[in-house]
Structure 1
Amino acid sequence: MNSSFLHNRGHLYSFIICLIGLGLFVIYGGGSFLHFSSSAWGWITAMAGAAVILTVFTFQLPPQGNGLSLDSSVYLACIFIFGLSFTLMVLLLSSLVLLLLEWGSTVWWKHLNNFAVYCIMVASASIVFTALGGVQGPLLSSRLEAYISAMAVYFILNTLLIGFYYYVVYHKNLYNTLKGMLTDTILAYACTLVLSLVLTILLYHNHMVGLGLFLCLSILISYSFKRLFSMYRDIEERSNRDPRTGLFNHSYFELALEEEMSSSKISGAALSLAMIDIDDFKKYNDQFGHLKGDGLIVFLAELLKRETENTNIIVSRYGGEEFTLLMPGYDALAAKNFMESLRKTLNHSRFEGSEIFPQGCLAFSAGIAAYQPDVHFKSELVDHADQALYYAKRQGKNLVHTYGSQSPLERDVDFSEDVRDIEQQLNLFMYKDLETFKHSKRVFRYAVDISELLNLDTLSKRQFTLGALIHDIGKLEIPWGILNKKDKLSLEEWEMVKWHVIWGKEMALTNEKFRDLAPYIELHHERYDGKGYPYGFKGEEIPRLCRMLTIIDSFDAMTTERPYQPTKSFKEAIVELRACAGSQFDPELTEFFIRYIEKREVCGSETAI
């Protein structure tokens, strides 16, 4: 989403808040300063000073680091003792002092917006307090509901105003945002609200001495929260770091990858993932022992830290001698250039015993995968990078390979080998379910034709056609009796059949070469309207070629003999496809496939033109 558009929405929201807040200030406190006595102004100054001091002692709360100060307890106590107009004047004076103190570090309109937010909360809390019978002066136990309600309104408005800002500007889920804020801050807010009652008692009975005691207590509480947050961050840092190398660990990498993919999906910014593996590390370990091997891992980790120091790249130890570099803002080309530079730097780095390596120097192999919008799961991006790494290893090591960048000749050779390997696995269907074997071969031939008509790039063509060939591999796990049952399947049997997409995906993930085919296996029974399985994805949440595979798979199932459904002619199947376009099938791709089938039938050929 365009950042200027986000900012404009944020500015509009702030402008509306300012209008409401300033309007409330004018209505309830605009001319009140003319009627205050010198004694009242002394109290206003003292209370404003207390609010400023507590704002300066703002502390952060774990786990998100949200800032919170105890100044709200001052404003609430002012409402309970002195009334609304007095409180608004304290708020105005403290806001002006903070504006002067932070002049140059914070833009003026943010101070104005903050002032307006406080005006809304203060005015609303005061109105509720008065409406429920609250009386300015000493704390009255008979009016506790007025105090509690005023504090609740103050707290709820604070949460809503901030939460709605994130919703308007960043389009985050409002419920989840509010829930997260409540979870993170409710204890600290409760502390603030209780302190407002303590201050009310101290002010009324002990005057300035009470205010001084309250400030001492509040500063100590703020300091304690600061220490707590510091300890939390220290523990969090340790839990996120690999103890041997000091790099981020695998767990942190998983979290960071999910966050960066989500951010990239929203903003459209480039994102790449690189995985590296030290070449011939086992040979070094066997020659010099594990202690020296650990030293080599630490050496590479230090090099990665140094080379990425002034970048936003997140370096993690993935496991053993494998490392990941999460690269926000890097497309595939920029990522490859960076990794090539890194590889050459390592090649020229001296380390004890490096002469035993086949390359005669330290080396790593690297695989790079660029994030695409149709990559739904972080595991897919990791698999793509892992496959690229596997390919770099297979080509002789000390190489950086980008996922999908093989030469045409290499792709053709690899494709032929992959088809042969998959067909060997499908041969298991020859004795268990011959029809599934034939169906897979027919769907594969349809996919080959369609891939040519769609002018797919070589990588997409490989994935689509091989995905079509292997899409039903999970049916090997279904009992023979269910696969070959002549009668209608029971509900329990149908539920078992639906599991073949998950079983097939797991089977594909066990083979490095076929991991990128998993989405075609897993998602070919998703529906365009979101009523499919296993996830209920809808529309463009389903990758485009998976949507096409769903059409091909269904067409072939309709036009070939099955034990549990009548066979349709090609014309009848086309009518069925059109009837289900927009619900089960992508309407645009459905018409594309129908044109292909109709032309194919006219030509009377087994292959597409």
Structure 2
Amino acid sequence: LALSSMFVVVAWTLGYYVRLERKHIDTLLTFVNKDGLTDLYNHRYFHEYLKKYFAKENVIKKPVSLIMMDLNGFKLYNDIYGHQQGDQVLRTVAYLIEKNLKKGQIACRYGGDELALILPGVTKEKAVEIASHLKEIIDSYVFEGQDHLPDHNLTISAGVSQSLGEDDTPTALIDRTDAALYRAKFLCRNRVEMFATIFEEFSHNHSEDSLLLDALQPIKTLITVINSRDKYTYSHIERVVLFCEKVADYIKMDYETKKKLICAAYLHDLGKINIPKEILISDEQLTEEQWEELKKHPKDSADIIAHVPELQDLAPIVLSHHERYDGKGYPNGLKGEEIPYLSRLLSLADSFDAMTHRRPYKPTKTIEQAYQEIRDNSGTQFDPNLTEIFISAMEFDN
């Protein structure tokens, strides 16, 4: 009896310590996986979850959609009211989001005022509905002091994308969603954007022009090849297309001219398919020989386009997008209005993106620094009649 009693005591004691240890482990896991401010899952858990989801082949059986959200006006709010009140806004937004998600849907703080939602088994169309619903909830919430903001409230922009099957990766999904968020913020903020490739966007906007779309199909394949070799060039093309769209809309460009500009933006770096990969992705300053090789891409792009009858009139625009207003550009040293009008616009969009996004051996500039550099080079690199128009277009509704 004594032995039995002792066994019970020992078993109970061991059980107690096992439960205590399990509770301790759970506490540690919560500490490791949760964001201390918002109590949402943190950046580390976000990546771990996606990595495991893709590794288990769940992504083949059912899609996973991703929503990335950014709080518009938050930086200014923080500057006006301080970090303590800003932190309270983040906690409130996190609470509003989490309480409106279903079981199995995961909300994470991705960083700063950026949140990410992982939605297993949810299509991108449904994810857009979810993002739009959450946007409405946050838009309608009255935050203390929001009346002093330019738009008189705090709103969100959101980007949405969906996994693409067994060949997809977590990194690619994040990149697509981030690109959609960038588009949502750039186009006007306070909106939800679903990821679409630039070719899908162009096809949708010009669906009636079947000859042009058919002509672009083989070009699309070449751009896909470029993407496989150099992700920077592909994302650069997407942003340049976006900037050109914004300028065209701002100056109320006619449909046919806008179509030419957007097509030229889509095709302007096509010649980089002939550039060695080690030059495209180099992290070091290019040698003079490598730089001369890179400078061939406008002519190579134009040569490819010139062989497609429906695209031939775009070749001069693409050929001249690295010419300078002072005649010191390449490949032909054209000067002033010798350079096609659309090439001069394309040059601004191309340079603006190069300034404001990661370049291997040059520091990234802020938007304001890029505007200043454009102004500093007005009349030398850029058409002085277009620089302020371009800057105004970039600032419009943003």
2:79 pairs, out of 286, 293, 300, with 286
Question: Secondary structure, in 3 states, of the residue corresponding to 1:307?
Answer: coil
- For residue 69 of structure 2, the aligned residue among 260, 276, 298 is 276
In structure 1, what is the Cα distance between the partners aligned to 2:47 and 2:40? Answer: 14
> Quick check: 2:128–2:192 contact (8 Å CA) kept in 1?
yes
Matched residues in 2 for 1:271 and 1:355: separation? 38
C-alpha separation between the residues in 2 aligned to 1:254 and 1:507? Answer: 25
Structure 2 vs 1, CA of residues 316 and 507 (structure 1 numbering), >3 Å: closer, same or farther?
same
Pairwise CA distance, 1:256: 1.2
Q: 1:299 to 1:430 in 2, by over 3 A?
A: same
Say if 1:436 and 1:321 are closer, same or farther in 2 by CA, change over 3 A. closer
Structure 1 unaligned blocks of 5 or more: 1-207, 453-504, 512-609
Amino acid at match of 1:361: N
CA RMSD of aligned residues (A): 3.8
Match of 1:432 among 266, 290, 303: 290
Matched ranges for 1:91-106 at <5 A = none
**1:214 matches 2:7:** yes
Deviation at 1:253, TM superposition (A): 0.9
Question: In structure 2, how many angstroms separate the alpha carbons of the residues matched to 1:447 and 1:374?
Answer: 34
The match for 2:205 is 408
Contact 1:429 1:436 in 2 (8 A): no
More helix by share: 1
Counterpart of 1:417, as a letter, is: A
Deviations 1:137-164 (Å, cap 9, x if unpaired)?
Answer: xxxxxxxxxxxxxxxxxxxxxxxxxxxx
2:188 aligns with one of 396, 399, 405:
396
Counterpart of 1:154? none
SS of the counterpart of 2:99?
helix
Name the amino acid aligned to 1:363. T
SS in 1 for 2:116: strand
Closer/same/farther in 2, CA of residues 386 and 266 from structure 1, 3 Å limit: closer
> Are 1:361 and 2:122 counterparts?
no
Letter in 2 for 1:390: Y
Identity score, percent: 25
Distance 1:219 1:420 in 2: 74
CA distance in 2, matches of 1:378, 1:449: 38
Change (3 A) 1:439 1:347: closer
1:91 counterpart residue number = none
Q: Partner amino acid for 1:295?
A: Q
What does residue range 122-133 of structure 1 map to in structure 2 within 5 Å? none
Question: For residues 347 and 235 of structure 1, do their structure 2 counterparts lie closer, same or farther at Cα, with a shift above 3 Å needed?
Answer: same
2:170 matches 1:378: yes
Answer yes or no: is 1:244 the counterpart of 2:41. no
| 1:245 partner SS | coil
Name the residue aligned to 2:105.
313
Q: Residue 182 of structure 1 corresponds to which residue in structure 2? A: none
In structure 2, what is the Cα distance between the partners aligned to 1:251 and 1:448?
49
Tell me how far apart the structure 2 counterparts of residues 447 and 377 of structure 1 sit (CA, whole Å). 32
Aligned partner (choices 343, 346, 351) of residue 135 of structure 2: 343
TM-score, length of structure 2 as denominator length: 0.54
Alpha-carbon distance between aligned partners in 2 of 1:272 and 1:447, rounded to the nearest angstrom: 37
Structure 1 pair 348–279 and aligned structure 2 pair: CA distance change class (3 A): same
Instruction: Give the length in aligned residue pairs.
Output: 249
Deviations 1:47-101 (A, max 9, x none): xxxxxxxxxxxxxxxxxxxxxxxxxxxxxxxxxxxxxxxxxxxxxxxxxxxxxxx
1:417 alignment partner, one of 250, 262, 265: 265
AA matched with 2:114: E
Looking at structure 1, the residues matched to 76 and 195 of structure 2 have their Cα atoms a distance apart, in angstroms, of 27
Shift, 1:360, TM fit = 3.2
Do the aligned residues in 1 keep the contact of 2:33 with 2:41 (CA within 8 Å)? Answer: yes
Cα displacement string for residues 198-229 of structure 1 (whole angstroms, at most 9, x for unaligned residues):
xxxxxxxxxx6545433432332122111101
Q: 1:227 to 1:415 in 2, by over 3 A?
A: farther
Q: Contact 1:277–1:364 (CA<8 Å) still a contact in 2?
A: yes
Mapped partners of 2:305, 2:176: distance in 1: 22
Residue pairs, 1:504-583, within 5 angstroms = 507=360
Q: Secondary structure at the match of 2:36?
A: coil
Unpaired stretches in structure 2, ≥5 consecutive residues: 207-240, 243-258, 273-278, 281-285, 311-357, 365-398
TM-score of the superposed pair, with normalisation by structure 1: 0.36
CA separation in 2, counterparts of 1:252 and 1:375? Answer: 23
Change (3 A) 1:212 1:229: same
Shift of 1:262: 2.9
Label 1:215 to 1:302 Cα distance change in 2 as closer, same or farther (>3 A): same
